[in-house]
Amino acid sequence: MTSPDYSFEQAAQEAGSRIVAGVDEVGRGPLAGPVVAAAVVLNPARIPDGLRDSKMLTARRRAALAEILQDVAQVGIGSASVAEIDQINILRASHLAMARAIAALPVAPDHVLIDGNMIPRGLAVSAQPLIKGDARCVSIAAASIVAKIWRDRVMWDLAQQFPGYGWETNAGYPSKSHKAALQNLGVTPHHRRSFKPVHNILYQDKSISD
């Protein structure tokens, strides 16, 4: 399997964009917690070895790379809350998180490379979507790592407040134990009510009470 490289950033720079950021999000599939995005501007002279799509790395390697990236790159983090996810839908919320991550960068980018096939609405910067960007573009791979680590820490913190759902290990994704806990312990304020498994439990409970 080929590693992501710096060719997309280089092409954008050769076309006149001085500062190029990679953007990715994590957390579209979980039943609980925010969706989190990261934007990363790499220094081509200080790209850490081993940057990959975060899903291809061990938890320890992800954590180590995320720490290195905080030192050698420009990083912005953005998120959209459960309330926003339920209000505007998960796709728009993930795009909102991306826009917030770009805005949070310490330096304003001239161009952004975005994982996926869509550009968030209303971006005030030129953008290029890249399907499977985290496997092709090293800046997007870096963003996927930072976003994953950030969101996992959020879910670990929430797990301390709401034990029993396994968020410290499943990060809010619909594992068998998480779905069983939903049935047994009920819906928390951090569950996405617009997602079918959560909605069905709420609807079922309402039907019983009616």
To the nearest 10°, report the CA torsion of 93, 97, 103, 104: 150
pLDDT value for 138: 97
pLDDT value for 208: 41
pLDDT value for 202: 86
pLDDT value for 2: 75
pLDDT value for 207: 42
Report long-range pairs for 133-136 (Cβ below 8 Å, ≥24 apart): 133/22, 133/24, 134/4, 134/24, 134/52, 134/53, 134/54, 134/55, 135/1, 135/4, 135/52, 135/53, 135/56, 136/4, 136/5, 136/8
pLDDT value for 45: 95
pLDDT value for 1: 57
pLDDT value for 40: 98
Was 24 annotated as part of a binding site? yes
Was 25 annotated as part of a binding site? yes
Was 134 annotated as part of a binding site? no
CATH code of 7-161, in short, is 3.30.420.10
In tens digits, what is the pLDDT along the chain, a chain of 210 residues? Answer: 578 999 999 999 999 999 999 999 999 999 999 999 999 999 999 999 999 888 889 999 999 999 999 999 999 999 999 999 999 999 999 999 999 999 999 999 999 999 999 999 989 899 999 999 999 999 999 999 999 999 999 999 999 999 999 999 999 999 999 999 999 999 999 999 999 999 998 877 554 444
pLDDT value for 53: 85
